[in-house]
Amino acid sequence: MDPSLVNDSSFSPANPSSYTLSEIWPFPVNDAVRSGLRLAVNSTPSDKDVSTAAAAAAAAEESTVTDLTAGWGGRKARALNSEEDESSKMVSLSSSGNEVVRFVRFCDDLNVVVSVDLKDSGEKKRKLCGSESGNGDGSMKPEGETSSGGGSKATEQKNKPEPPKDYIHVRARRGQATDRHSLAERARREKISEKMTALQDIIPGCNKIIGKALVLDEIINYIQSLQRQVEFLSMKLEVVNSGPSTGPTIGVFPTGDLGTLPIDLHRNIYEQQEANESRGSHPEWLHMQVDGSFNRTT
Amino acid sequence: MASADKPINTDVPEKDVFTLHFLQSLSNLRRQNTFNSPEKTNDRVKKIKKAAYVSMARAAGGTNRLWSRALLRRAAKENSKVVRFPRRKKRVTCLRRRRSNRRDPVEEEEAERLRNLVPGGGGMETSKLMEETAHYIKCLSMQVKVMQCLVDGLAPK
């Protein structure tokens, strides 16, 4: 520990990997920044928070340092990263996020460079936490702060509500590809499966079937049976139509006047509800007619 | 891909309209049949079937639905009539250009079968196809019920 530069470093000495300002930030520090650091650190009483604040500050400093001095990476950066990992696993990121946020706000009018790097450090932290990398949209706004930028990735942080953007937000789950094509594919697939569940509600007996292929088979069978029924019924109607004498004759209907229909037919049309699957049997006379007609054609 | 989830739009086909159209066409056919009775039964059956489908297509929303539009066009072609359609907002060419996006071979077999069944299914994307299938099924079941009632009501006692 080098006490010459900073006398009042409030990093707890119990933490072996804590750093004084001098070690991390070999550049001259103006008092404002130092007081800002102290402010951020002082506002959190507990040890853990101090360490995370230290990690946050350290991360900030580390990122700026790595930006500026390429060769400094080395041991300290790796140690910092490991500490970051550990602290992020221990403590919810939101608290450290808040610390970073407060730091940003405080340093904004003082040192613009620091705020920019803090965003990068936030980005790095998110990457280290194992969330999906590749913020491909690149829509990282300064007011987005530590909330997930771009809006199309799911992290484990609790974020502020994002401003509504003009494209669809799809929550990508962990371990799934996040490029544009697969997102579109997934959205399309979800649309199709939603329509299929709607279809399932219409068709009786399709609720118990699970699996797209079987449901589709069921749907196709249903449509085919419906079309076959229409054919049978049209044959029946043809018999009715071509008979010389039918009960109530189908006369000429004036447009829009269903009242000329006989009463019982009217009632039938509006009240009769037949189950679809039970229309398998046809009366005997129809069978005879059908056989006759088939004989004639063959 | 900028729209939220619209509620699935299926308007219920009207029984009255369908019955009306169908009965009108049936009476037309009956008047025709008294003149030329040596016609074979199959042709009459086919005419009735076509009349049923056409009246159903007209009752179910006319040219607002893709499948009914295709049905009407098919029927009109057989009769060599000219059918005038109101101008649609989207052109069919846009749909055809997006065909390349419809990958996923597992689904496409099933979708192929559906396309063969539902009229007008050739030029649709899979999601649109599902909507049309749902509406088509509703209309078909309505048609079956009405025809059944008609047959029961008009059968010689």
Taking all residues of chain A, what is their mean pLDDT, rounded to a whole number?
A: 54
Q: Is A238 a residue whose pLDDT tops 70?
A: yes
Contact A230 B143 (CB under 8 A): yes
Q: How far apart are CA A48 and CA A89, in angstroms?
A: 12
Contact A231 B131 (CB under 8 A): no
The more confident residue out of A113 and B61 is B61
pLDDT number for residue B142: 85
Q: Is A206 a residue whose pLDDT tops 50?
A: yes
Q: How far apart are CA A287 and CA A289, in angstroms?
A: 5
Q: Which of A58-62, A287-291, B18-22 has the lowest mean pLDDT?
A: A287-291
pLDDT number for residue B36: 56
Q: How far apart are CA B10 and CA B27, in angstroms?
A: 31
Q: How far apart are CA A52 and CA A88, in angstroms?
A: 8
Contact A258 B5 (CB under 8 A): no
Write out chain A residues lying below 8 Å of B43, CB-based.
Answer: none
Average pLDDT over residues A179-186: 87
Best CA proximity match to B44, nearest among A296, A246, A235: A235
Q: How many A×B Cβ pairs under 8 Å?
A: 180
Confidence category of residue B102, pLDDT binned at 50, 70, 90: low
Nearest CA in chain B to A166: B2
Backbone angles phi, psi at B85, to 5 degrees: -110, 140
Q: Is A192 a residue whose pLDDT tops 60?
A: yes
- Choose among B2, B3, B148: nearest Cβ to A233: B148
A263 touches chain B (CB under 8 A): no
Q: Is B34 a residue whose pLDDT tops 70?
A: no
- pLDDT tens digits, one per residue of A112-169: 444 344 444 444 444 443 344 344 343 334 433 333 433 344 444 444 444 444 566 6
pTM of full prediction above 0.95:
no
- B37: buried, middle or exposed (CB in 10 Å: 19+, 13-18, 0-12)? exposed
- pLDDT tens digits, one per residue of B118-136: 877 777 777 788 888 888 8
Write out chain B residues lying below 8 Å of A219, CB-based.
Answer: 114, 133, 137
Confidence category of residue A6, pLDDT binned at 50, 70, 90: very low
ipTM higher than 0.95?
A: no
Nearest CA in chain A to B115: A220
- pLDDT tens digits, one per residue of B135-152: 888 888 888 888 888 888
- Choose among B44, B137, B150: nearest Cβ to A202: B137
Contact B20 A258 (CB under 8 A): yes
Confidence category of residue A82, pLDDT binned at 50, 70, 90: very low
Best CA proximity match to B154, nearest among A48, A236, A35: A236
Confidence category of residue A233, pLDDT binned at 50, 70, 90: confident
- For residue B76, the 8-state DSSP code is H
Residue in the block written with tokens 């042709």? B43
Parse chain B into domains and list their residue ranges. 13-154
Q: Is A61 a residue whose pLDDT tops 70?
A: no
Nearest CA in chain B to A262: B153
Average pLDDT over residues B59-74: 70
Confidence category of residue A26, pLDDT binned at 50, 70, 90: low
Confidence category of residue A225, pLDDT binned at 50, 70, 90: very high
DSSP alpha helices (H): ranges in chain B?
15-33, 41-59, 66-79, 92-97, 105-117, 126-154
Nearest CA of chain A to the CA of B123: how many Å? Answer: 16
Q: Which two tokens stand for residue B84?
A: 């005038």
Those residues with Cβ within 8 angstroms of residue B68's Cβ, 6 or more apart along the chain or in another chain: B56, B57, B58, B60, B61, B62, B119
Q: Is A76 a residue whose pLDDT tops 80?
A: no
A69 touches chain B (CB under 8 A): no
Nearest CA of chain B to the CA of A268: how many Å? Answer: 6
Most confident stretch, A90-104, A270-284, B17-31: B17-31
pLDDT number for residue B134: 84
